[in-house]
Amino acid sequence: MRVAVIGASGYVGGELMRIFTMHRDAEVTIATSESSAGRPIHSVHFNLRGYYRGLRFTKYSLDAVSKTADAAFLALPHGRSLNVVPELLEVGMTVIDLSADYRLRNPEDYERWYGFTHPYPDLLSRAVYGLPEIHREELRRAKLIASPGCNATASILAILPLATSGLIGDDPIIIDVKAGSSEAGSRPSLPDHHPEREGTVRPYSPEGHRHVAEVVQEIGGIVGRGVTAYLTPHAVPSVRGALATAYVIADRDVGERELIAAYARTYGKEPFIRIVRNTPIRYPNTKYVIGSNFADVSFAREGKRLIKAFAAIDNLMKGAAGQAVQAFNLAAGFDETEGLRAPPLRPV
Ligand SMILES: NC(=O)c1ccc[n+]([C@@H]2O[C@H](COP(=O)([O-])OP(=O)(O)OC[C@H]3O[C@@H](n4cnc5c(N)ncnc54)[C@H](OP(=O)(O)O)[C@@H]3O)[C@@H](O)[C@H]2O)c1
């Protein structure tokens, strides 16, 4: 299958390009960039020197993309996919959008969380939230995939076994996420400049973090009622990786065995979820997922009802490009793991 990467010069675009060098059923035939048009791929993605020898970045145009590719990955900033998605769907392409522009099903949520009126509310109901662990069957028929946010992915995957097992009570779910600097994208900004960011840990966007909307939507959908969640991301001095710690007060006493069974039932057959329980590494650690599409999950208990649920991902892989390719594989009828079988790097 011929694939377009739109916004190919960014970190997520580069990660998509890296994954497709390993994909046997699909190849990147067009990579768009407004700022690097005409230049070779390795002029931006230095790690891809020697790959994509015949390809250069080109400026986006519907004509060029639709003539050259069957499916399009959009790795554009939030708000920039809004008008591109409908025109790509119109010409019959499969679209995988990695921004937040089509992730929320309820149009009113865009007003509440993003502060704008969504111009295509009808498309929101057609978009499939691209988390295979919840929406695998819908993804098999999807024409529009809205790939989840990285903090939302880690948070949802940490909590999901508790939701599917009916353990989520009425108390709010409190989530902390620690995330590496590549979450902020490749455009430099002063707070994410190396001298400001290196060697420090700090919260950011702690009030009404937008990824909460995805957590509430997806976990609420599983438990069949509204849930309340609060999420605070923290910038930590690493490049990749996101670790979610979710505090969930169960609606009844819950034992270790029941939790082990819940995680095994939910994730036992999942190709990219690993349950971490054994010493010496008892809890997920971002270090051991970097470069891979794995999410490592686990839990701890305090008292009879407090469950601390953990998930570690590589934000650019399971948190972005890897997960998007996993969802695309399902939509295209390919093996779900195609292009994504590389194990994590170690040491890193
Ligand atoms: N980084 C992560 O961990 C992560 C995880 C999950 C989802 N996402 C989402 O994935 C998308 C891409 O993220 P990223 O980290 O790859 O960002 P990035 O490094 O900043 O890349 C965005 C790309 O979009 C292009 N672009 C087009 N119009 C633009 C505009 N008006 N302003 C800025 N850039 C524009 C830029 O390339 P040209 O200017 O060359 O065209 C740029 O390379 C975002 O929606 C992000 O929220 C990111």
Res. 278 pLDDT band, cuts 50 70 90: confident
Same domain, 180 and 265: yes
Rounded-to-integer distance, Cα 289 and Cα 281, Å? 13
Res. 209 pLDDT band, cuts 50 70 90: confident
pLDDT at 272 exceeding the cut of 80: yes
Same domain, 119 and 156: no
Radius of gyration of the chain from its Cα atoms, rounded to whole angstroms: 19
Residue 134 forms part of a structural domain: no
For residue 224, how far is its CA from the centre of ligand 1 (angstroms)?
34
Same domain, 211 and 115: no
CATH code of the domain containing 247 = 3.30.360.10
Closest C-alpha to ligand 1, atom 2: 183
Same domain, 186 and 292: yes
Same domain, 120 and 245: no
Residues 6+ apart with CB under 8 A from 48: 14, 17, 18, 21, 41, 42
For position 276, what pLDDT does the model report?
A: 96
CATH code of the domain containing 28 = 3.40.50.720
Same domain, 250 and 175: yes
- Ligand 1: which residues within 6 Å by Cβ? 7, 9-13, 33-36, 75-78, 80, 98-99, 149-150, 182-183, 185-187, 315-316, 319-320
Domain region containing 58: 2-126
Q: Which of 126, 161, 196 is the last residue of a domain?
A: 126
Q: Would the pTM of this model clear 0.75, i.e. be above it?
A: yes
Same domain, 218 and 84: no
Q: What's the chain's length in residues? A: 348
Rounded-to-integer distance, Cα 284 and Cα 219, Å? 21
Q: By the 8 A CB rule, do 167 and 207 touch?
A: no
89-98, 130-139, 170-179, 185-194, range with the lowest pLDDT:
185-194
Same domain, 70 and 120: yes
Picking from 335, 333, 338, 340, the residue whose alpha carbon sits closest to that of residue 139 is 333
For position 30, what pLDDT does the model report?
A: 98
For residue 13, how far is its CA from the centre of ligand 1 (angstroms)?
8
For residue 175, how far is its CA from the centre of ligand 1 (angstroms)?
25
Same domain, 168 and 296: yes
Residue 339 forms part of a structural domain: no
Same domain, 183 and 268: yes
Phi, psi of 44 (to 5 degrees): -110, -50
Same domain, 118 and 188: no
Residue 111 forms part of a structural domain: yes
Task: Annotate 274-304 with b (16+ C-beta within 10 A) or e (fewer).
Answer: bbbeeeeeebbbbbbbbbbbbbbbbbeeeee
Highest average pLDDT, of 181-190, 201-210, 318-327, comes from 318-327
| Pairing relationship of beta strands 128-129 and 173-179 according to DSSP bridges | unpaired
Q: How many domains does the chain have?
A: 2
The minimum-distance atom of ligand 1 relative to the CA of 101 is: 45
Same domain, 94 and 178: no
The minimum-distance atom of ligand 1 relative to the CA of 186 is: 19
- DSSP class per residue in 134-145: HHHHHHTT-SEE
pLDDT at 279 exceeding the cut of 80: no
Catalytic residues: 150
Residue 323 forms part of a structural domain: no
Q: Compute the average pLDDT of residues 75-88.
A: 98
